[in-house]
């Protein structure tokens, strides 16, 4: 089991808040829309990061709580909320597998490429349902297993030492069958839709340069790659990204799955 300090480091190094977080804004809006958040709702945003979903929901008039394990993310979320002029969001530090809230505390519980990183996944799944009232909605996004981020993770894996203690891949939350199994109890009306984040980039090499220098998860993992293997890894990564690159738009397509369900 990885420590809380290790998880916090993954999301603190690099500069997620300045570049990566803002590129996911359309997915946040899609999630809030899919969950039909309105002004009467008490909403929880799990693994809220810099506040994309929490602030989008608060701008609809909902009463919002944002929770994240990483204090630096929460600091940036507070700043974003102040700029957006929504000052009544409650920000809490905590773990998605052990939420510091009573049963049935929320009408809508959301997570945008967030709770997918919590371990063990079954605990995250139970907590999502526990804090949502009967008749309330849960909705979350994950990269689909065929999407660019899992493809890059697979390429990276080939250059890392084997890790027998590795957690299940987070992207299983983007696989409809696995999600059905994980939500098999206590919810109904499970439905799925996909969406795409189009990340602007001048070339596949620029995209890799951005990720290797700014994404904490990749920065930390690259510390375990043999220096001599680095040029081959870079070449493979650029070839992987190329598969998702649209030259007519200068974008990398990042496909995600939205799951929505009603709590029984
Ligand atoms: C890819 S970011 C997504 C942030 C935000 N939801 C967004 O849409 O931009 C993943 C977030 O999950 C948080 N996180 C990772 N593991 C967590 C856990 N076990 N409990 C709560 N938050 C967690 C990280 O701190 C980070 O802010």
Residue 224 domain-assigned?
A: no
Residue 32 domain-assigned?
A: yes
Rounded Cα distance between 32 and 112, Å, is 10
The pLDDT, as a whole number, for residue 42 is 98
Contacts 24+ apart (CB under 8 A), 127-130: 127/96, 127/97, 127/98, 127/99, 128/46, 128/96, 129/183, 129/186, 129/187, 129/263, 130/99, 130/103
Give residue-wise pLDDT tens across range 33-86: 999 999 999 999 999 999 999 999 999 999 999 999 999 999 999 999 999 999
Give residue-wise pLDDT tens across range 188-208: 999 999 999 999 999 999 999
Neighbouring residues of 197: CB distance < 8 A, sequence distance ≥ 6: 23, 24, 26, 27, 253, 254, 256
Candidate from 46, 49, 109, 173 with most ligand 1 atoms within 8 A of CB, to mutate: 49
Residue 40: CATH number of its domain: 3.40.50.150
Question: Residues lining ligand 1, CB < 6 A?
Answer: 7, 11, 21, 24, 28, 47-50, 52-53, 68-70, 73, 95-97, 112-114, 117-118
Candidate from 8, 47, 65 with most ligand 1 atoms within 8 A of CB, to mutate: 47
The pLDDT, as a whole number, for residue 166 is 84
Residue of the CA atom closest to atom 10 of ligand 1: 114
Measured in angstroms, how far is the CA atom of residue 228 from the centroid of ligand 1?
32
Measured in angstroms, how far is the CA atom of residue 118 from the centroid of ligand 1?
8
Rounded Cα distance between 55 and 213, Å, is 27
Residue 232 domain-assigned?
A: no
Residue 71 domain-assigned?
A: yes
Q: How many CB atoms lie within 10 A of CB 56?
A: 25
Residue 216 domain-assigned?
A: no
Residue 243 domain-assigned?
A: no
Residue 258 pLDDT greater than 80, yes or no = yes
Give residue-wise pLDDT tens across range 140-176: 999 999 999 999 999 999 999 988 778 889 999 999 9
Residue 67 domain-assigned?
A: yes
Give residue-wise pLDDT tens across range 104-128: 999 999 999 999 999 999 999 999 9
Domain interval for residue 92: 4-146+165-200+252-263
Can you tell me the mean pLDDT for 120-140? 97
Candidate from 21, 68, 99, 127 with most ligand 1 atoms within 8 A of CB, to mutate: 68
Rounded Cα distance between 196 and 144, Å, is 10
When divided into structural domains, the chain yields a total of 1
Measured in angstroms, how far is the CA atom of residue 47 from the centroid of ligand 1?
4
Measured in angstroms, how far is the CA atom of residue 111 from the centroid of ligand 1?
8
The pLDDT, as a whole number, for residue 163 is 85
Residue 241 domain-assigned?
A: no
């Amino acid at each position: 089991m990885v420590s809380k300090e290790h998880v916090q480091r993954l999301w603190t190094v690099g500069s997620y808040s300045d570049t990566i977080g803002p590129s996911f804004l359309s997915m946040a809006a899609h999630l809030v829309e899919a969950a039909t958040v309105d002004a009467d709702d008490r909403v929880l945003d799990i693994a809220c990061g810099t506040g994309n979903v929490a602030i989008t929901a608060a701008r609809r008039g909902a009463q919002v709580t944002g929770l994240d394990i990483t204090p630096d993310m929460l600091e940036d979320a507070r700043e974003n909320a102040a700029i957006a002029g929504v000052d009544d969001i409650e920000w809490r530090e905590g773990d998605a597998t052990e939420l510091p809230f009573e049963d049935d505390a929320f009408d809508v519980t959301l997570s945008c490429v967030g709770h997918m990183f919590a371990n063990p996944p079954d605990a995250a799944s139970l907590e999502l349902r526990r804090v949502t009232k009967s008749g309330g909605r849960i909705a979350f996004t994950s990269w689909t297993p065929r999407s660019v981020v899992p493809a890059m993770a697979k390429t990276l894996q080939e250059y890392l030492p084997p890790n027998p203690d590795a957690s299940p891949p987070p992207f299983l939350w983007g696989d409809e069958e696995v999600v059905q199994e994980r939500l098999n109890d206590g919810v109904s009306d499970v439905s799925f839709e996909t969406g795409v984040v189009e990340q602007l980039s001048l070339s596949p090499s620029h995209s890799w340069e951005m990720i290797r220098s700014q994404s904490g998860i990749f920065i930390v993992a690259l510390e375990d790659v043999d220096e001599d293997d680095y040029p081959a890894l870079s070449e493979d990564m650029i070839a992987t990204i190329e598969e998702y690159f649209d030259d007519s738009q200068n974008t990398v397509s990042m496909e995600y799955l939205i799951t929505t369900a009603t709590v029984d």
